[in-house]
Amino acid sequence: MLALILDDSEMNNLMMAQALKPVAECEPVAFTCPVAALAFLRDNVDRIGVVVTDYDMPGLTGLDVIAAARAVPGFAHVPIVMVTSLDQRSLRHEALRAGATDFLGKPCDPVEIQARITNLMKISTAHRQEQDRAAWLTREVESAVSVIEAREQEIIALLMRAAEHRDTDTGDHVARVAAYVGIIARNLGFDPRPLRALKLASTMHDVGKIGVPDAILLKEGPLSPEERAEMEKHAERGRRILEGSSSDIVRLAAEIAESHHERWDGTGYPRGLKGEQIPLPGRIVAVADVFDALVSERPYKAAWPLARAKAHIAAQAGTHFDPRCVDAFLAGWSEIEQSRAEAA
């Protein structure tokens, strides 16, 4: 690693560099100009293991250099040694407050220089090794998480493929709903990772329809009260299929499957939850699910025009839907129109 030496006297720099020659894996780089030294420091943060600076220099003092060096990103833990007279106690206190690590007294003793710089270089090396290990651990964790997430996505895709065998529109429907969910959640302020989890979990909101008979699921016309009751069982059935998983996403999907047909005014199913008793993910999916159902052709209805469906969603704020979720939906209307056009 580099040892950056800064003194306005070239002779002092030469003596310091000569004293550092026996220090293992230490390459001295000397400067007489503080501005040039700081410019070099900013460009070589990862290569510098220690800085040795004099105090009394024209332009910038050693204190100024220390403060400027500590302000450079990634340089907070690199040892900085200031060369001072032994009787300059107040100056040493200022240097410590500025970020100095150690001091060398004048006149400099080569043996003391070698011992102190050797120890400081070891500290610097150990810190960099720790940083490298932390970065390696972070990469390993991210890699493991990626594998887990890929497996989750694969399992979810297989589960939804099974659902598609019951209803040929299911695959397209869940993809569109997930897109709308992402737009609503982003406008509600969701961070990227929770937003991604919500979009993925939302694709399983209707998994309970696997247990609904074809005669009901594909019926071309209104359902009888008995058929409607059977259809409504899909929400609770979806929760039972998904609950108890060790996966956070699948547990979130179970919550959504059960709650996405609840209504803000408490007249929904299966539990008749009201207002904020309904989990927020279920409230978000409710808006996206109903909107897509309205603008899609189904065996029992023609597709609504986008403007009519938008007006219906807006009119149902505070009754069917959480007003905040409706506001987020309307705020993303241009994105929703674009998403719908891309899916067409």
Q: What is the pLDDT of residues 189-223, one digit of tens each?
A: 999 999 999 999 998 898 888 888 878 877 888 88
- Is residue 169 scored above 60 in pLDDT? no
**pLDDT single digits (tens) 243-273:** 888 888 889 999 999 999 999 999 999 999 9
**pLDDT single digits (tens) 54-94:** 998 888 999 999 999 999 998 989 999 999 876 677 888 88
Q: Which amino acid is at 156?
A: I
Whole-angstrom distance, CA of residue 77 vs CA of residue 75 = 6
Give the strands of the sheet with 48-54, arranged side by side.
Answer: 27-31, 2-6, 48-54, 80-84, 102-105
Q: Residue 163's pLDDT is what?
A: 60
**pLDDT single digits (tens) 138-162:** 788 778 767 767 777 676 766 666 6
User: Any alpha helices (H) in the chain, and if so which ranges?
Assistant: 10-20, 34-43, 62-70, 89-98, 110-164, 170-187, 192-202, 214-217, 225-242, 248-259, 280-295, 306-315, 323-331, 333-343
Please give the full DSSP string across 40-64, using - where no structure is assigned: HHHH-TTTEEEEEEES--SSS-HHH
Residue ranges and CATH numbers for the domains of the chain are 2-136 (3.40.50.2300), 165-343 (1.10.3210.10)
Whole-angstrom distance, CA of residue 292 vs CA of residue 303 = 9
Whole-angstrom distance, CA of residue 182 vs CA of residue 288 = 9
pTM for this model (two decimals): 0.59
Q: Which residues touch 234 (CB under 8 Å, ≥6 apart)?
A: 206, 208, 209, 211, 212
The single residue listed with the structure tokens 């929760």 is 239
Q: Which residues touch 74 (CB under 8 Å, ≥6 apart)?
A: 45, 46
Q: Which amino acid is at 146?
A: S
Which SS3 state, helix, strand or coil, does residue 84 take? strand
Q: Residue 252's pLDDT is what?
A: 95
CA distances from 262 to 34, 43, 198, 274 (A): 68, 58, 18, 8
| φ, ψ of residue 44 in degrees (nearest 5) | -135, 35
